[in-house]
A and B are shown apart, each in its own frame.
Chain A
Amino acid sequence: MAIELKDVEHLLGLARIAVSDSEKELLRHDLEEILAYVSQVKDVTAELFVPTAGELRNVMREDENPHESGIFTEDILKQAPARDGNRISVKKIL
């Protein structure tokens, strides 16, 4: 499985991670090596493979009994890098 530098750049964009150019080449090399190793799952399942999501299923609960409003607000907002009153502030998107 050949991984090219532009693949790495595409993935970095999807994952929202900025790295130096020298690390891109390292990542390309590592990814290629690791993917070559894990590709054995394709050989094992070549015959019996039917696409499946596995047997694990999410378990949901009813959205009920909310806690009293505001009791965690201050603790949580204190962790935000930038806030504006009771809001977390971010840069304008548009």
Chain B
Amino acid sequence: MDIKNLTIKKAHELLVNKKMSVLELANEVTKMAKESSDLNAYLELFSDVRAQAEVAQKMIDEGTATLMTGIPLAMKDNILIKGKIASASSKMLENYVATYDAGVTKKLREAGAIFIGRTNMDEFAMGGSTENSAFGVTKNPHDKTRVPGGSSGGSAAALSSGAALGALGTDTGGSIRQPASFCGVVGLKPTYGMVSRSGLISMASSLDQAGPFAKTVEDAEIIFDCIKGHDPMDSTSYPDDFPRKNFNKPRVIGVPTEFVHAKGVDARVLKNFEESLEQMKKAGYEVREISLPSLAHGLSVYYILMPAEVSSNLARMDGVRYGYHRDGANLLEDYMRSRGEGFGREVRRRILLGTYVLSSGYYDAYYGRACAVREMLKKDFEKAFEDVDIIATPTTPTPAFKIGEKSSDPLQMYLADIFTVPVNIAGVPAISVPSGFVSEGDAKLPLGIQFIAPHFGEDALFAAGKDFEKVRGNATI
């Protein structure tokens, strides 16, 4: 069986038509995961897959199966699954066993999905390459000398190598879309509040959102439909009866040309992007240039708000209630040493940055102003969406970079998020869809195109994404 190209949709048909059992499917996927273990995509393959498969098989046999029943999934290591370790790839939580299911876990479990294992990530989701994991870097399946992107790099690499039929990640500034682009799969960051954040290990609470990785846009939609919806355990999740606009099929694509041609964007990425837009024109879309000047400030806003929220969220890791503990002479020293040793370098850096921008005397100059620019950016998006249905940019300014290439220069690493970060700041949804390849030596490195929609506009993204899948070429630049 060609497990690498098997979609959720197709697997569902095979399962309900009894062409394959849930356990057979799960075993095939687990076999792929073991064969590609050199990628370091999975931190752990779960030992209870057989028991999970039995539950799913029963649902299929009894005719109560959903599209997700029996589908083997990879879960990012910051999503709680009761009774399993959730370490967020940190030494701090290396042995932390989840005491409850995350909202998304609960929904997937009820639908009968199979959790194959938990995947590697940048520590506490801070990074764009998985190099910040306390448990080693994940390698890109398309070129093992390169990063898979991050922070959800393990989920993207597992899916791309055929070691899962779908995967869950979290996206605070691009952590689903960027690795999806680097690994040649589809990645969706839903509207803020569409998917429960309950049971995700918090990074920056006003930006975090869980979402799917999938091989096709249709598969991403299937997973999204399963995990979306109100959760009383997340006060920022939208009630299901929240009034929202209905979307027609998108027709006009806006392109913030000036922003897309920013300094540091690879010429091959721009060429691929232009070609993708031409193909969308052929599919009947109108492409219109738009001006979104505040997009250029997205990164600055992000690297103030995010560390500020990080510094408060991670204050809970104190070496007292759970997690890593290192004994000192007194309680203060316990804190200092537990946190100093439990957190990795990038996490320490961001906590410090957040402490600075929130500290007395600097709060207004940094945090206060970043909040003001956030409102500007949101309004700019709203205004742009009066004229266009969706906005397109490349997902990333470059294809996957070499392991080690940017790890000593945090600012360079941050610049890799330039196209994805504004989306989280505005809270709107966006999808990354594979758009072709770049040749580098013997390897073909995937590229992605990002479509952005207004709040609750996921349907518009799926429609545009499916149209793009039909017309995109397989050209290598």
Residues of A within 8 A of B (CB): 7-8, 11-12, 14-19, 23, 27, 30-31, 33-35, 37-42, 44-45, 48-56, 58-61, 72, 75-76, 78-82, 88, 90-93
Contact = CB atoms under 8 A, between A and B. Distances in A.
Contacts of A90: 320, 331, 334
Contacts of B352: 8, 11-12, 15, 17, 27, 31
B300 A91 contact: no
Nearest to B82: A75
Given A54-B375, A93-B331, A11 B235 contact: no
A16 B29 CA distance: 43
Given A41-B301, A45-B372, A51-B368, 13 more contacts: A7-B356, A11-B355, A15-B355, A17-B343, A17-B348, A18-B339, A27-B352, A30-B349, A33-B411, A50-B372, A52-B368, A81-B320, A82-B325
Contacts of A37: 299-300, 303, 411
Contacts of A15: 311, 339, 351-352, 355
A62 B304 CA distance: 32
Interface string B181-215: 00000000000000000000000001000000000
Contacts of A75: 97, 99
Contacts of B335: 16
Contacts of B351: 15, 17
A14 B331 contact: no
Contact of A31 (B311, B320, B337, B356): B356
19 contacts: A11-B356, A12-B352, A15-B311, A16-B336, A17-B352, A23-B345, A31-B353, A34-B410, A37-B411, A45-B372, A45-B376, A54-B375, A56-B206, A59-B236, A61-B232, A79-B99, A79-B321, A82-B325, A92-B331
Interface of B: 96-97, 99-100, 206, 232, 235-236, 294, 297, 299-301, 303-304, 311, 315, 318-323, 325, 330-337, 339-341, 343, 345, 348-349, 351-353, 355-356, 359, 364-366, 368-376, 410-411, 414
B322 A80 contact: yes
A34 B411 contact: yes
A53 B331 contact: no
Contacts of A60: 235
Contacts of A51: 364, 368
Contacts of B321: 79-80, 88
Contacts of A59: 235-236
A34 B375 contact: no
A70 to B, nearest CB: 14
Nearest to A91: B331
A24 to B, nearest CB: 10
A11 B311 CA distance: 11
Nearest to A59: B235
A14 B369 contact: no
Nearest to B318: A16
A18 B97 contact: no
Contacts of B331: 90-93
B77 to A, nearest CB: 16
A19 B338 CA distance: 11
Please report whether the interface of chain B is mostly helix, strand, loop or mixed according to DSSP: helix
Contacts of B356: 7, 11, 31, 35
Given A38-B366, A41-B369, A51-B368, A58 B235 contact: yes
Contacts of A53: 368, 371
A55 B375 contact: yes
B359 A11 contact: yes
A48 B372 contact: yes
A81 B325 contact: yes
Contacts of B333: 18
Contacts of A30: 349, 410
A72 B340 CA distance: 30
Contact of A34 (B311, B343, B353, B369): B353
A16 B336 CA distance: 5
B54 to A, nearest CB: 25
Nearest to A89: B320
Nearest to B233: A61
B371 A54 contact: yes
A76 B202 CA distance: 18
B368 A91 contact: no
Contact of B303 (A38, A42, A54, A78): A38
B300 A72 contact: no
A49 B330 CA distance: 45
A41 B370 CA distance: 6
B300 A41 contact: yes
A31 to B, nearest CB: 6
Nearest to A92: B331
Contacts of A45: 369, 372-373, 376
A11 B345 CA distance: 15
Contacts of A40: 297, 300
Contacts of B376: 44-45
A34 to B, nearest CB: 6
A42 B365 contact: yes
B366 to A, nearest CB: 7
Contacts of B353: 31, 34-35
